[in-house]
Structure 1
Amino acid sequence: MLRIAKHRVAPAGIESKAYWKRGLHGSAAMMAFMFAGLSAPAMAQDTPPPPQDVAQSDEDDGDVIIVTARRREEALIDVPVAVTAFSQDQLRDLQAQDLSGIQGAVPNLNLVQGRGSATSANIFIRGVGQPDALQTFDPAVGVYVDGVFLSRIQGALLTLSDVERVEVLRGPQGTLYGKNTIGGAVNIVSRKPDLDEFQASGDVTYGSFDQFTVNGYVSAPIAEDSVALSIAGLYDTRDGIITNPLTGEDFNDRDNLTFRSILRVQPSDSIELSLSGDYTRQRNALNLGAPTAPIIQTDLALGPQVLVEPDQFGPFDFESATSFTNGEGQELDHWGLALNANFQLSDNLELVSITSYRDLNTEFFIDIDATQAEIGDVFVGTDQRQWSQELQLRYSSDNLNGVFGLYYLNERVTSDQEAFADDLFAFGGAPISFTRLINDEQETDSYAAFGQLTYDLSDYWSITAGLRYTYEERQYNRFTTTQSDLAPFNGLDFSFPGDLPPPLNEDDSQSFDAFTPSLTISYTPAPDRLIYASASRGFKSGGFNGRANSLADLTLFVDGNPELVTTFEPETVWTYEIGGKASFLDGDVVVSAAAFYSDYQDFQARVGGGIDGGAGVGVFPVLNAGELEIYGFELEATVKPLEGLTLMSSLGYLEAQYNEFNDGRRVPPQSFSCNPTGEEIICEPAFAPPINARIAGDYTFSLGSADISIGGEARYVGEHFLSVDNREGLREDGYALLNAYVQASFDDGRYFIRGGARNLTDTLYRTDGQEFSSVGNIQTVYFGDPRTFTITLGFNY
């Protein structure tokens, strides 16, 4: 975790891989030059002052960025971790309403609103992620709130109203965290109530599409120096940005209400307790995308028939249709309680306990095909509950620091689903009614023991070693049936695992375990220089196909023969990284760089099992797709050339490719495959743009009694696919966004007025995709917001 002591974007550790293998000699030379610059100062001095001395002097100047990413306070520049952090002020400058607001601002992070839902988060870091929202898939990138892991991506697109900072850690996490994640972590740290002073802040915003937002925070001591309470609240509404031209209805709106309260108790210098509770309520209209391929009806007498062309309304102009006509929308209620307890056992030992309970309920209507045809219209109701307990024992001394921990998570998810598809089948032009009903339940128990030690070999060299053991057990049951006015389609029941052949019909649970080590060697040639090299292993457990409606969904072709595959295996990744961080000119120039290489095995891919061109209705297989090779580099820099002027930039380069794709759909005639010949892989990893970059600046000056701040940025996200299967319509060709703001502050910042603009050039860009070609050839894309303006009045005490 990070604590940022000054209004400045924290430079992210940069990761890159053996990119020189691809002949990127220019990039390698650049990295080598930088690392040479990092180590050069050491040649000019035999005995540099200890790093902690300089960190302290920086803190006295107010410039230090404090990091607790290794569970102890350190200056960011001394930490061999790839991390980007944003303070509350920086999030405001980014105009980040929710987590998706940092998209394009962190190297090799792809974080967007998940498909078809206003509340889900689709997160990839360095090409590693899991876009499917189904409860049988774990997220590959963990979202943590005050140390508590959120098990589902639904509800994870959190608003950022009472946030002290957001941190993005890249690469496998596990030797310091309660819940392991294979791709990285997004940590959200709430504002803690102050034990000594009353604090209050608030603002009101009005903007495009009748946006109206009220945000408030108050913190007050209850007992001097020992007890304090904070309460934060957010109410945010906005009209829809997509219109149905057939009815005039608006969709893709916002209607959010969020509360959080924290009670902080510090009865002595050695004990601190923090009890927090939060509640989020969201009531949204449908979240619509746009079709990119013809919607196909299967006529049992006439063959495939085109129901809707993708360009029925012409080029996309935020118009889309739906077959839902009775005001169906999306409702979410998400609440939780957490108790964080810190006990200072001695000068060297600290015991930390994190206990949490969370409850998530959703009632989502989703029009997957985003047309007036009733092809992919679904209702998904879920009830998710999780309880977790984490214990940490932290040790610190002059040369040895470490954390040892135990973790337990129990999660239970039940869902009731209905799929409405009265236009999917016909006979001689006459529609055949068809509805599928689904009930399923999954329970997960996750156990882990982890630890990490850092030993300072000298004033220059340190070594960090970590190890984690994870054991997870899943139990899954599923029942589906159909309702239709055509007898052969009515009452098609399937029970998992009951309808599997013996002995699989009694196998409703699976267990997975793994050891995941990490090793880092760091060299500090001078107090403001750091070079490090690391290797770490990540793990994500396997599970069950949560879309299985028949044995066909579980049948894959292995060596040319059909085989029943009822589970998917865990994913693993080995990531190797070199990096460096440096500060020059008394902190006016701060740079961070890294290169990484990842060997990613058994990626869990839910793919389309339909026939090419949508001719027919297919299945929903889950593949362990095989081996990916991912490498790249990341650069970040902050420069203060003049008093009041700060310039920031970041660059992420990513190369991701399949070295192996075990596609069990290959054998049936005309079936789509990412490996149609068994040798030639025609797909590339999704959500892995080769380039993302950001250039930003802000300038603050005095004008009469006001302090004026002017800021702007340009973000670029490169071309990438939005589905595992790489359907041509599910591609984003790359986009650039321009954002700007101006703020006037009065009375030493107590009052302010701010104007903001996002997407100034009104760029049309795609953020996510739905690939359900198995059902009516559905291939739907979702779009980011058009140009928007806001004006905000606020205060800070």
Structure 2
Amino acid sequence: MNRLRVTLFAAVGAACLMPTAGLAADAPADSAVSEVTVTAQRRAENIQDVPISIVAVSGEQLRKAGVTDFQNLTQLAPGLVTDANSDARSSRIGLRGVTTAQDNGKTSSVGVFVDGVYMSRVGMAFTELADIDRIEVLRGPQGTLFGMNTSAGLIHIITAKPSLTDTKGFVEGVAGNYDRKEVRASISGPIVADTLAGSFSAYAVDRGGVVYNVTQGKDVNDQSRWGLRGKLRYAQGNLDVVVIADYTNENSNCCGNVLFVVKPTAVTIGQSVPPLAVAAGAFPYSRRKLTGLHDYVKPQGAGLSAEANYDFGFATLTSLTAWREWNIRVQNDAGGLAIPIIETYGIQRHDQYSQEFRLASNGDGKLQWVGGLFFFQRNSDAVGVTRFVPLIYHTAAQDGLTVDNYTLKDISKAVFGQISYQVTDAFKLAVGARYSRENQDAHDIQVARNIVSPNYNRKESRNEGQATYTVTGTYDFSPAVMAYASVARGFKPGGFDMGRPATFTNFQFDEETNLNTEIGFRSTLMERRLLFNATLFNTVYKNFQTVQYDGIRFLSGNAPKFTTKGLELEVMARPATGLSISAQAAFIDAKYNDFKLGACPQGVAGACNLTGRTLPQAPKTTYNLAVDYQHPLAQTNWTGFVHADYAYRSKAYFNQALDENLTQKGYGLANLRIGVRSADGLKVEGFANNLFDKDYMSFAFNAPLMSGGAYEGFLGDPRMYGVRVRKEF
């Protein structure tokens, strides 16, 4: 692995140091770095002209890297954390060291949008990346251009739009180890020439388990999911309308946790953990677990949206109307042992409605502007059942059950806009502002028949409003070199702790704010054969919303202050025809400035002072390297290709208490694909993900109801390999 890392770094360095004369010579288009068009500022622009720290990944780049699901986007965007933990309800996304662990009453600091529509639960996004046009990852506060406000950044997934002129599509099949079977297909084209078009895409993924359950005698942590998406596009005169409907379904035996760290003193009720674990061979990287209860996760999602654009000449009016629903059923043996200690069951239903109106100036004149109105409403209902130690609680009067039922309704309204003015031929100034109003109503009822959990009935409301802004100055040194400086204020509303707290206190947590300053440099050099970008940032957060798992439940609160700062780099080079080399890196320092009442590691009573400590899920160094090479095969209509990439992340803590037992040391994952493609669109490739079969944990936590040092976690995928066949037409 070290040899691969050194080789890839050397390749990038050689490309950057290659003699200028050789690179500057006129070259065919396929020897230049491709120009990428994005809509991060709500208008089509070259990514190199956008004064935002942004990573844009095209559908073709996703296919080259073999990225087919949301969680693996970390391969392509350093500083991005996408951890799917016990199930989709608690999935997390982070940027620049800022990760929000999910609570039913909390909004993620990093938002996810699909075709402009905000996903109110992070788990909605953790599915297949099917029929993608591109993905844009925007770092830093984003509130003056998008409908829903996001305080730390956003991920915008843009799916392919139906073509009014050409019929095109693809069919793809995958077979691999762990009984992997995947099918994907898409077709798009005109129904009425130049006026009405449609598209339809579908996928189905099935994979066997990657962990063996000793107690049940079967493999678990498998995958079984499928989805559909249909689009209709109508274009007539100045009007362009796109209607999208989609549905996703998953039924996986997932996600079972394994024992991560077990100390000799770790003891649970009536039984010592270490002898049991040793006898079963159940340590994390053996991929063996002990639980007797069948784990499953069954999310379903559906959505309908309509985007209408009308061109008035001087400006374009956009209306985006959307409805989404997401339901999930889960069952999990949270105790982690063959004997039943904690059994959890849950059903959640989330539905949301949003309406956005946006008016944006047309053309590339000195003055450009965009303004909008936004309305969002979400209704969430959930029932959670926890059974504590069924072997002890066996009477009808006290059967160990805890039943928690909550409802949450939140409404967000906002007005936002941004104006930019070309002050001189080289200097542009942009100013944006937003005002958001948030209203939330929560009702949480818990009924318990055990000695662990209390009974309660709470009903509370929150109402708050905040103004945010951004100011950006951009200077063009030449058509190919640009620098910018910006300052932006971010905001995220407070909420309710839906984690079944043990007392009536701290049911609410406060709003989160931040102030981000950054400077950036963008350049495309040597006849577009070399691209170099750099961004320096510093963001100060106040009242950062945190979540801590105490062995039984997740509790929410606020850390008074922390700062995240760092450097982001991007290099792309085309040193020769057919050869492309890229490298991206993020060096981040995210530390608490003030957090005296932080959580403590297992076995330590009271509060711990975490001031000066690094935030959880905030690796100081992340980077990725990739090499692509293609070459025509002599006297055939076939082209051979190879893609290799390597992604690294340094040590990171898993929990808010910053327990040294709950860390993942630095590791890297390498992927390789080799294949051929024909001139008529047939492609055959062999692939290997996690090529060197690296063992790592995606998340870990204190083992419930165990004392003296027992920890559990979720394993990352082992080496996956197989064959992919794709036919495009």
Q: Structure 2: how far apart are the matches of 1:664 and 1:205? A: 47
Task: Give 1:37's aligned residue.
Answer: none
Match of 1:92 among 51, 63, 66: 63
> 1:674, 1:681 within 8 Å by CA — same for their partners in 2?
no
State the percentage of identical aligned residues: 26
Q: Structure 2: how far apart are the matches of 1:550 and 1:316? A: 31
| Secondary structure in 2 matching 1:77 | helix
The 1:314–1:746 alpha-carbon spacing in structure 2 relative to 1, beyond 3 Å, is: same
The 1:161–1:588 alpha-carbon spacing in structure 2 relative to 1, beyond 3 Å, is: same
Q: Give the deviation of 1:549 after TM superposition.
A: 4.4
> 1:297, 1:426 within 8 Å by CA — same for their partners in 2?
no
Match of 1:248 among 217, 234, 244: 217
Task: Give 1:383's aligned residue.
Answer: 349
Q: Structure 1: how far apart are the matches of 2:34 and 2:728? A: 22
Asked if residue 291 in structure 1 is aligned to residue 259 in structure 2, the reply is yes
Q: Structure 2: how far apart are the matches of 1:745 and 1:104? A: 24
Asked if residue 536 in structure 1 is aligned to residue 485 in structure 2, the reply is no
Alignment of 1:154-173 (within 5 A): 154-173=123-142
| Secondary structure in 2 matching 1:173 | coil
Aligned partner letter, 1:74:
E
Match of 2:516 among 575, 588, 591: 575
Residue range with higher mean Cα deviation, 175-184 or 433-442: 433-442
Q: Structure 1: how far apart are the matches of 2:89 and 2:691? A: 25
Alignment of 1:196-211 (within 5 A): 196-211=165-180
Aligned partner letter, 1:547:
G
Alignment of 1:264-283 (within 5 A): 264-268=233-237, 270-283=238-251
The 1:194–1:306 alpha-carbon spacing in structure 2 relative to 1, beyond 3 Å, is: same
Q: Structure 2: how far apart are the matches of 1:492 and 1:322? A: 29
Match of 1:405 among 344, 369, 372: 372
RMSD over aligned Cα atoms:
2.8
Task: Give 1:8's aligned residue.
Answer: none
> 1:307, 1:373 within 8 Å by CA — same for their partners in 2?
no
> 1:230, 1:261 within 8 Å by CA — same for their partners in 2?
yes
> 2:32, 2:528 within 8 Å by CA — same for their partners in 1?
no
The 1:69–1:380 alpha-carbon spacing in structure 2 relative to 1, beyond 3 Å, is: same
Asked if residue 599 in structure 1 is aligned to residue 599 in structure 2, the reply is no
The number of equivalent residue pairs is 694
Asked if residue 495 in structure 1 is aligned to residue 457 in structure 2, the reply is yes
Task: Give 1:756's aligned residue.
Answer: 687
Aligned partner letter, 1:690:
K
> 2:538, 2:566 within 8 Å by CA — same for their partners in 1?
yes
Task: Give 1:588's aligned residue.
Answer: 529
The 1:60–1:352 alpha-carbon spacing in structure 2 relative to 1, beyond 3 Å, is: farther
Q: Structure 2: how far apart are the matches of 1:355 and 1:135? A: 24
Alignment of 1:311-710 (within 5 A): 313=281, 315-325=283-293, 327-345=294-312, 347-397=313-363, 398-422=365-389, 433-484=399-450, 492-497=454-459, 508-551=460-503, 554=504, 564-609=505-550, 621-663=555-597, 670-675=604-609, 681=611, 683-703=613-633, 704-710=636-642
Match of 2:645 among 697, 713, 737: 713
- 1:703-753 Cα shifts (integer Å, max 9, x gaps): 1321111110111111101111122332110101111101211124x1110
Q: Give the deviation of 1:366 after TM superposition.
A: 2.4
Task: Give 1:69's aligned residue.
Answer: 40
Runs of at least 5 residues in structure 2 that lack an aligned partner in the other structure: 1-15, 17-27
> 1:522, 1:533 within 8 Å by CA — same for their partners in 2?
yes
The 1:357–1:291 alpha-carbon spacing in structure 2 relative to 1, beyond 3 Å, is: same
Task: Give 2:662's aligned residue.
Answer: 730
Q: Give the deviation of 1:772 after TM superposition.
A: 6.4
The 1:307–1:700 alpha-carbon spacing in structure 2 relative to 1, beyond 3 Å, is: closer
Q: Give the deviation of 1:91 after TM superposition.
A: 0.4
- 1:611-638 Cα shifts (integer Å, max 9, x gaps): xxxxxxx775422112111110010111
> 2:259, 2:283 within 8 Å by CA — same for their partners in 1?
no
Task: Give 1:766's aligned residue.
Answer: 697
Q: Give the deviation of 1:469 after TM superposition.
A: 0.7
- 1:665-715 Cα shifts (integer Å, max 9, x gaps): 68x99525331xxxx637430111000111110111011321111110111
> 1:193, 1:264 within 8 Å by CA — same for their partners in 2?
yes
Q: Structure 2: how far apart are the matches of 1:318 and 1:571? A: 41
Aligned partner letter, 1:361:
N
Q: Give the deviation of 1:197 after TM superposition.
A: 1.2
Q: Give the deviation of 1:341 after TM superposition.
A: 0.5
> 1:128, 1:182 within 8 Å by CA — same for their partners in 2?
no
Aligned partner letter, 2:648:
Y
The 1:728–1:267 alpha-carbon spacing in structure 2 relative to 1, beyond 3 Å, is: same
Aligned partner letter, 1:169:
L
Asked if residue 238 in structure 1 is aligned to residue 238 in structure 2, the reply is no
Q: Structure 2: how far apart are the matches of 1:619 and 1:280? A: 29
> 1:120, 1:156 within 8 Å by CA — same for their partners in 2?
no
Task: Give 1:503's aligned residue.
Answer: none
| Secondary structure in 2 matching 1:285 | coil
The 1:669–1:244 alpha-carbon spacing in structure 2 relative to 1, beyond 3 Å, is: closer
Aligned partner letter, 1:385:
D
Q: Give the deviation of 1:320 after TM superposition.
A: 3.6
Task: Give 2:21's aligned residue.
Answer: none
Q: Give the deviation of 1:780 after TM superposition.
A: 2.3
> 2:216, 2:292 within 8 Å by CA — same for their partners in 1?
no
Aligned partner letter, 2:541:
Y
> 2:282, 2:290 within 8 Å by CA — same for their partners in 1?
no
The 1:774–1:796 alpha-carbon spacing in structure 2 relative to 1, beyond 3 Å, is: same
Q: Give the deviation of 1:421 after TM superposition.
A: 1.8
> 1:241, 1:318 within 8 Å by CA — same for their partners in 2?
no
> 2:403, 2:447 within 8 Å by CA — same for their partners in 1?
yes
Aligned partner letter, 1:643:
T
Asked if residue 782 in structure 1 is aligned to residue 714 in structure 2, the reply is yes
The 1:768–1:608 alpha-carbon spacing in structure 2 relative to 1, beyond 3 Å, is: closer
Asked if residue 216 in structure 1 is aligned to residue 185 in structure 2, the reply is yes
Q: Structure 1: how far apart are the matches of 2:55 and 2:705? A: 39
| Secondary structure in 1 matching 2:71 | helix
Q: Structure 2: how far apart are the matches of 1:298 and 1:121? A: 28
| Secondary structure in 2 matching 1:640 | strand
Task: Give 2:107's aligned residue.
Answer: 138
Alignment of 1:25-40 (within 5 A): none
Task: Give 1:17's aligned residue.
Answer: none
Task: Give 2:99's aligned residue.
Answer: 129
Q: Give the deviation of 1:154 after TM superposition.
A: 2.0
> 2:31, 2:529 within 8 Å by CA — same for their partners in 1?
no
Q: Structure 1: how far apart are the matches of 2:495 and 2:347? A: 21
Runs of at least 5 residues in structure 1 that lack an aligned partner in the other structure: 1-33, 35-56, 498-507, 555-563, 611-617
Deviation above 4 Å: which 4+ runs of structure 1? Answer: 57-62, 293-299, 304-312, 423-427, 771-778
Q: Structure 1: how far apart are the matches of 2:381 and 2:421? A: 46
> 1:480, 1:549 within 8 Å by CA — same for their partners in 2?
no
Aligned partner letter, 1:761:
F
| Secondary structure in 2 matching 1:716 | strand
